[in-house]
Amino acid sequence: MTLEKIKNSVAEKKGVLHSFRYKGTRNQNEDFKGIINGLYDKVFTIMGCDSRLRAFSYSDLLVGNLEIID
């Protein structure tokens, strides 16, 4: 996949509740639910069900650090 395809895919999922899996540093994995609410040139934001705003780069999806689980 290219970054352009990933950006388009994220844009299609905006505003809908999804499950996410984030693979952090030192094997710290986090599963959470949220809504993609902000799309920017290099990053996008997700408002979690716990009212926590998270920001990720599109490359996080490209390299597999973030997964959108439908």
What's the pLDDT tens digit per position in 33-54?
999 999 999 999 999 999 999 9
CATH of domain 3-69: 2.30.30.100
State the Cα–Cα distance between residues 47 and 35, nearest whole angstrom.
5
pTM of the full predicted structure? 0.91
Is 1's pLDDT higher than 90? no
The pLDDT value given to residue 25: 86
Helix %, strand %, coil % for the chain, to 5? 25, 45, 25
